[in-house]
Amino acid sequence: MTPEPTPAMPDLGALSGKDLEGLVARICSPYGNVVRVTVHGANPNATARSFALVDMSAVNEAERLAAAFRRPRMGSSVLLLLEPRNPS
């Protein structure tokens, strides 16, 4: 059984970089062993989209994560775009 991806991230501006890395790691951990998460562009005032590079311990784990989120895989790493939560 494959876990369902989380539809949206919390407000990026409300989290520190380390908190955001931890959240991404927790969301990705059902797909395998997360080795490292590196978040880029998590500044809410940035014009570029924020993303996380998630390093998994094995290529097959990265393949599962990439398929679940429909994102590109590079070896054992997956690029995830971080979307701010839509206002309710």
Q: Which CATH number fits domain 12-81: 3.30.70, 2.60.40, 3.30.590, 3.30.450?
A: 3.30.70
Quick one: pLDDT at residue 7? Answer: 44
The amino acid occupying position 75 is: G
Q: How far apart are the first and last CA of the chain?
A: 30
How confident is the model over 21-34, as pLDDT tens digits? 998 999 999 999 99
pTM: 0.76
In this predicted structure, the answer to whether residue 20 has a pLDDT above a threshold of 80 is yes
In this predicted structure, the answer to whether residue 36 has a pLDDT above a threshold of 90 is yes
